[in-house]
Every structure is written in C-alpha cells, then in structure tokens.
Amino acid sequence: MLRAPRFLLLHHRSVALLEFLAAAAWAGIVASHPGIGVRGKCGLGNPRRGTLSGRRRGFPARDEAIRRGRAYADAGVDLVWPELSSPDREPAVAFAKALRESHPGLPLAFNYSSSFKWHKDANPFTFKELGELGYKFIFITLFAAHAGMYAVWNAMEELVKDQEQAQWRLEKTKDGHPTESHHVMARVSHFQELEKKYIPGSDARIKSSAGFDDKRMH
C-alpha cells in the first residue's frame, strides 16, 4: 500500500518529483488522508538579479516561482512557501497576489529569514502585513539559535568579569521564571515516572536521593 509521508517538503529543484506525484494523483491521496500535511516550497528570487536555483531557461525567476507554486497547489499541498532572496517587498507581494488569484483559499508560508537585516530595511514587513497578504505561517529560521548564542556569549563574558556574582545574579533573574529549574526543563519528573513503572525499586531510590522533597519530587 502506498503510504504518504506526514510532511513532504519539496525543494524548488524537485519539479520532476512534483510532476510525477501530480501524475500519480497525489492530490487524491492527500484528500483521502486528512491527517497528512503537505507543504510545497518554491524559490522566489530577486527579479533584478533573476535568481532562482534550477529555473527553466527563458523563464524569469518570479514567473517560474509562481508557476511552481500553482503546480504545488494543484497537486493538493496545504501550504506553499516561496523562498525569498532579499527582504524586498515587491516579490513577496507579487507572489501572494498571483497565488491569491488562482488559489484564493490556499495559505502561504513566509520565512522571515535571519539572513536579512530587517532592522536596516527602509520599510520592512510587519507580521500583520504579511498575514493580510495571505502568509498565514510566518517563521524565523535560526531565531532561537541566534538568541541562545547571544545570551550565552554575554553570560560567559559576565562570568569571567564578575565570577560568582554572575551566577548569583542569574539565579535572582531566573527566580520564578519558566526556565528556573533545569530539572523541569529536562522533564526529569516524566522520566522518573517511567523509571518507577518499569524499573523495580526506583521509587525508593528516588526518595532516598539527596535533594528530594515534596515540592521538587526530584
């Protein structure tokens, strides 16, 4: 029996695969499996540079991206993601307008890429504006990675400079915060319950551990 993946991310170079799936009545397969979420990704290059990896000869990057986006939609995807090469407004607006004309009910995805310096743009998109254009799924690649690197770098600088005071200050800052306990963040209690269920003697061992009390339970 043919089983479709729960999520299928088709890169813009996978046009042949897309056309094969469409020919194989992929849309019908998706329709018969309502739990399947399928996304189509197509590269939307900067029209001034004509960038679109794998573009067809003789077709402008934007036209090709729109063609592929519509092909994904016709194949039955739940979401189309145009990958931009710059924070310029015009390509994103043009793509959204074109898809809205041919597939008005299809939501779009927008990568608010960390590779762009949005704060330096003269007129950067807001999430509200993107949503009004039809970009219903907005994400920022590597946001958590950048935020984490920034926080750790600063914390290490403070530790070198202030030594134990940096640790004390961090403890006070995190007091009552969701990330206060590394035990909670690592779901220690969840795994302790699994230990109790499957490993004899775990309950007694945990309760005899140093630091165990009725509040922490681990």
pLDDT band with cut points at 50, 70 and 90 for residue 52: very low
Task: Please tell me the distance from the alpha carbon of residue 87 to that of residue 46, in angstroms, as a whole number.
Answer: 9
> What's residue 210's pLDDT?
76
> What's residue 209's pLDDT?
83
> What's residue 216's pLDDT?
55
- Ranges of CATH 3.20.20.60 domains, the chain: 7-141
- Condensed to tens digits (0 to 9), the pLDDT of residues 112-148 reads 999 999 999 999 999 999 999 999 999 999 999 999 9
Does residue 156 register a pLDDT over 60? yes
> What's residue 170's pLDDT?
97
Q: Rounded mean pLDDT of 50-65?
A: 58
> What's residue 211's pLDDT?
67
- Condensed to tens digits (0 to 9), the pLDDT of residues 64-103 reads 999 999 999 999 999 999 999 999 999 999 999 999 999 9
Task: Please tell me the distance from the alpha carbon of residue 56 to that of residue 43, in angstroms, as a whole number.
Answer: 12
Cβ pair 83, 69 in contact under 8 A: no
Task: Please tell me the distance from the alpha carbon of residue 188 to that of residue 201, in angstroms, as a whole number.
Answer: 17
Does residue 179 register a pLDDT over 80? yes
Cβ pair 51, 82 in contact under 8 A: no
7-141 CATH:
3.20.20.60
Query: pTM of the prediction?
Result: 0.68
Does residue 23 register a pLDDT over 50? no
What phi and psi values does residue 138 have, to the nearest 5 degrees?
A: -110, 125
Radius of gyration of the chain (CA): 25
Q: What is the mean pLDDT of the chain?
A: 79
Q: Rounded mean pLDDT of 13-24?
A: 42
> What's residue 177's pLDDT?
96
Q: What is the dihedral of CA 113, 114, 116, 121, to 10 degrees?
A: 90
